[in-house]
Amino acid sequence: MSAAPLPGGEVTFFFADVEGSTGLARRLGEAYGPLLDDVRRLVRNELDARGGREVDTHGDELFAVFERPSAAAGAALAVQRAFQDHPWPEPVRIRIGLHTGEATPAGQGYVGIEVHRAARIGTAGHGGQVVLSASTVGQAGADARELGTYELAGLHEPEVLYQLLADDLPCEFPALRAARKIDEARLRVVLADDSVLLREGIARLLEDAGMEIVAQSGTAEDVVRHVGLHKPDIALVDIRMPPTHTDEGLRAAQQIRERFPRVGVLVLSQYVEPGYAMELLAETAEGVGYLLKDRVSDVGEFASAVRRVAGGGSALDPAIVQQLVGRRRREDPLDELTPREREVLGLMAEGKSNQAIAERLFVTMRAVEKHVTSIFSKLRLAASAEDHRRVLAVLAYLRAE
C-alpha cells in the first residue's frame, strides 16, 4: 500500500539533528546504535502525537513537515523536554529548526528554496535550542525571542530568526553558527595593491558586500603604517609590490602579524607560490589567508574568505592546496584516502568549516564529520573542533617531506 501524498501549499518544515553525534558515536562504540534508536523514537513520538509527517531520516537527522506552525512548535518543545528527561548514557542534545513556506512535493520529498532555507535555519542553532523563522513565529503559539537578522549560506535574502522559549528549558545559548548577523559592526579593511585599477575594483566589491575600506595603499611600507593608524579588522595585501615587485607584500604581511596580532591578514597573489603561502602560515593559520587574485571574480566566495580571516579563521587558495596534496612522497598516507576524503582534505586545508564543506559537496554535515574523522585517523593527526587548529594540523602534514 503506497504512502499518502505529502502535503503541498504552505507547510512548516521541521529539521532536527543531534549535536556532536560523531563524537558520541566514537565514544560509545556499539552502544551508539541503541542510543540512536532512542533518538529516533523520542522524536517520532512527538511528531506522531501532533500530526507531523516524517519526510526523510539520515542517521541522527530527521526532516518532517506539519500543516500547522503551532503543531510544529509544540512538537519541537516536546522533543526538547523528552531529550532533557531521558536517561542518556551521557548528555545528548538535539537542535531543531522550523520554517513556514510554500512546499513543492517531488516524489518522496520536497524541492525548492524554502526547504533549503529551513535546513539552514536548522543547522544555525545549538543542541537544546529551537530556532525558527519570522514566517513561523507569528503562528507558533509559543513565547519566542528575536535573535536578529541573519544571512544564511547560499541564500540571497536575509532572515529574521527567533528562539522558542519555555520556562522548563534552557534559554541561553552561544551565537548562532553558520549564519552572519547583519547588524553586526561592518568589517574595517585596509587594502594594499600598487595597481590603482585593481585596488579600486576590490574596494568596490568589498563595500558592496557591506565592508568599510578605511585606507588604501600602493606600497608595502605604507600599508603597515595604515594598519598601525587605523587598527582594521583585516589587511588585504598584494605580494609583489614596489620597489622590486618580488615579496615586499609578504614581508609587510609578516610585520603586520607580528606587530598587530589581532588584525587578520589576507595576501593576494597573481601566481601560485606554495613556498610563500607556507612561509606566511609558518607560525599560525589563525587570521591568515593566501588567495590568487582570480578568486576575486567569485564575489560571494571572496567576501566569505575575507570575513573568515577577519574572524580569526583561515583561507588558502585551492590551487595551492592542490599542489600540496598532489605531491608524491614515499609511503604516503594520502594513498590511503578515498577520492572523497581527498576532496574533504583539500577543503579543510583551505580553511573551510564542516558546514561549508557540506554545502560545497552537497552532502550532510554528518557525512563530512565522518570523512574528517577518517582523514585524521589515516594521517595520524590530532583531531580538533577548532577550524584554525584543524587547518594547522593539516598544513603541518602537507608541509612534511
DSSP per residue, 274-306: HHHHHHHTSS--TTEEEEEGGGGGSHHHHHHHH
Q: What angle do CA 175, 180, 185 make, to 5 degrees?
A: 90
User: Dihedrals φ, ψ of 182, to 5°?
Assistant: -70, -35
Whole-angstrom distance, CA of residue 219 vs CA of residue 224: 9
Q: Specify which residues 145 forms β-bridges with.
A: 163
Fold match flag (9-181 vs 188-316):
no
Q: What is the pLDDT along the chain (401 residues), one digit of tens a residue?
A: 346 788 888 999 999 999 988 888 888 999 999 999 999 999 999 999 999 999 999 889 999 999 999 999 999 999 999 999 999 988 899 999 999 998 888 888 898 889 999 999 998 899 999 999 999 998 888 899 998 888 887 777 788 899 999 989 988 888 787 666 665 567 899 999 988 988 999 999 888 877 899 999 998 889 999 999 999 999 999 988 888 888 888 889 889 988 998 899 998 888 777 677 677 766 666 788 888 888 788 777 788 888 888 888 778 888 877 776 656 556 666 778 888 888 888 888 777 877 778 877 877 777 888 888 888 888 777 666 555 666 766 766 666 55
Q: Which residue has the cell 593566501?
A: 290
Nearest C-alpha neighbor of 93 from the set 173, 179, 178, 33: 173
In 360-375, which positions are buried (b, 16+ CB within 10 angstroms) versus exposed (e)? eeeebbbbbbbbbebb
Selection from 104, 134, 118 nearest residue 10 by Cα: 104
Residue 206 CB partners (closer than 8 Å, separation 6+): 189, 191, 213, 303, 306
pLDDT of residue 52: 95
The answer to whether 230 and 222 are in contact (CB under 8 A) is no
- Does CATH number 1.10.10.10 belong to domain 322-399? yes
- What integer pLDDT is reported at residue 296 of this predicted model? 82
- CATH code of the region 9-181: 3.30.70.1230
How big, in percent rounded to 5, are the helix, strand and coil portions of the chain?
45, 20, 30
Cell, residue 74 = 509544540
**Cα distances (Å, whole numbers) of residue 192 to 26, 209, 215, 226, 289:** 47, 18, 8, 10, 15
For the full predicted model, state whether its pTM sits above 0.85: no
Domain boundaries, given as residue ranges, for the chain: 9-181, 188-316, 322-399
188-316 carries CATH number 3.20.20.80? no
